[in-house]
């Protein structure tokens, strides 16, 4: 039996580089030529390892979620920290990512969701982006519905609206960060938002 030829590139690195191209250019703006150039492979190798452009995008999106988004959740799960501080720390962590690098890219998901709304996404990619959108809203809604401090403050009664507010602000900070607004400037927006929904920020 013939043994398949070993790939001469690191799939993890290639996928990371593809993610960075999509993060900068979006799905439509990322050409196959630019993707393969940045990944350091030819089109044949790309198709063999990752499938077509749509399949590569889905893999890159999942890679982004796993490597760039999951780490922020630790702030929401911190013990002995007020709900206001947990949300503030989570949102600041996300904004820090959105504003990172000399040329901030905002949020991969927000950028690509705007393309999805315009109907420019393949079906599988569109479904994944919609799923992530729902999951984010569900996560914030569950937090406001179930957190003991939220219940004590009566925020559970407006959980859906509070969740939408927080998520909308994070989508907005992504766009502002991409246009060059600093994380320090956006910190004020976050704190104003949290006070607006009834969460007072104490020291720490």
Full pLDDT tens readout for the chain, 204 residues: 344 445 567 899 999 999 999 999 999 999 999 999 999 999 999 999 999 999 999 999 999 999 999 899 999 999 899 999 999 999 999 999 999 877 778 999 988 888 887 777 888 888 988 999 999 999 999 999 999 999 999 999 999 999 999 999 999 999 999 999 999 999 999 999 999 999 988 754
Domain 11-196, second-level architecture: Orthogonal Bundle (1.10)
pTM above threshold 0.75: yes
- DSSP for 129-165? HHHHHHHHHHHHHHHHHH-HHHHHTTGGGGHHHHHHH
Q: Residue 3: its pLDDT value, please?
A: 46
Hey, how many other C-beta atoms are within 10 angstroms of the C-beta on 184? 9
Domain ranges of the chain: 11-196
């Amino acid at each position: 039996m013939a043994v398949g030829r070993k790939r001469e590139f690191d799939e993890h690195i290639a996928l990371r580089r593809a993610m960075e191209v999509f993060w900068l250019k979006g799905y439509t703006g990322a050409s196959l030529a630019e993707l393969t150039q940045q990944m350091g492979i030819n089109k044949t190798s790309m198709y063999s390892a990752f499938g077509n452009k749509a399949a590569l995008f889905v893999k890159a999106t999942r890679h982004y979620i796993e490597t760039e988004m999951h780490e922020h959740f630790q702030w929401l799960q911190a013990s002995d920290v007020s709900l206001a501080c947990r949300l503030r720390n989570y949102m600041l962590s996300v904004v820090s990512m959105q504003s990172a690098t000399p040329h901030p890219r905002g949020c991969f998901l927000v950028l690509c969701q705007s393309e999805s709304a315009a109907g420019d996404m393949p079906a599988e990619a569109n479904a994944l982006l919609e799923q992530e959108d729902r999951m984010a809203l569900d996560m914030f809604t569950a937090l406001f519905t179930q957190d003991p401090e939220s219940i004590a403050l009566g925020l559970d009664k407006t959980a859906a609206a509070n969740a939408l507010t927080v998520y909308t602000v994070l989508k907005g900070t992504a766009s502002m960060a991409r246009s060059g607004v600093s994380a320090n400037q956006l910190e004020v927006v976050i704190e104003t938002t949290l006070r607006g929904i009834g969460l007072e920020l104490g020291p720490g």
